Chains A and B, each alone.
Chain A
Amino acid sequence: MANTASLCTSFLAELLTGTHNFGVAPIRAATTADTFKGALYVTTATYNAATTAYSATNEVTGTNYTAGGVTVTNATVPASTNTSATAGVAYWTPSASLTYTTVTLTTAFDTVLIYNSTQSNKAVGVYTFGSQTITAGTFTLTMPTNSTSAALVRLATT
């Protein structure tokens, strides 16, 4: 047997649960999961990897759409899978679709921002799809499979 240098897969999963803190803030007091939300943005917006928090700028507006979007259902805790001595993946996906019911969104949109409404609306990820409009209808966004290869949030060593 020999030792092998690697970030530990369990550490990756623990990053997703706020177990480790290399900095000075925030100090987490709560032991429950944070609340995450999904906000929709128009096609002319410029949200990307540099986005740090939710913003109402270029968010969709329309009948029955509430600024800030909808709450993400989070019934599944983050998981991790170790695939070798040097590789592993921690991952998490919302446990239900995001549904915007009976809305009218006439300006084309193509992006959802997932953000942490418990932690000062800090951004998690920007996800894009084909341009859509909704007229007196429902927009449903179904999340990818909760797996090492497809989950919405994945941290990995390679």
Chain B
Amino acid sequence: MALVTTTLGEMDESLLEKREGTFEDDNELTTWTEYWKDNALVHRSAHVTLKKAPVFAGGEQTNFV
């Protein structure tokens, strides 16, 4: 028996409808898990993994001519 934290308190997972999803692009890999009870969202967690920092600071030295 797995308990899930919900807006209604701790509930047995078997009493809830579980929905999961993923999203991936060049920036991130995201997974999410939702639990629904009587057509109401009672729990949503998400895990975002950043793949690459979008900011890249470049620098050049000054050349003396």
Contact = CB atoms under 8 A, between A and B. Distances in A.
Given A135-B41, A135-B43, A155 B48 contact: no
A58 interface: no
A158 B42 CA distance: 50
B28 interface: yes
A70 interface: no
A150 B28 contact: no
A125 B51 CA distance: 15
Interface range on chain B: under 10, 10 to 19, 20 to 34, or 35 or more? Answer: 20 to 34
A136 B52 contact: no
B5 A127 contact: no
* Dominant secondary structure of chain A at its interface with chain B: strand
A130 B30 contact: yes
**Chain B binding surface SS class:** strand
Interface residues of A, number: 35
Contacts of A12: 59
Interface string B41-57: 11111111111111111
23 contacts: A5-B61, A7-B59, A125-B53, A128-B27, A129-B48, A130-B25, A135-B41, A135-B42, A136-B6, A136-B44, A138-B45, A139-B47, A140-B48, A142-B48, A142-B50, A144-B53, A150-B52, A150-B53, A151-B53, A152-B50, A155-B57, A156-B57, A158-B59
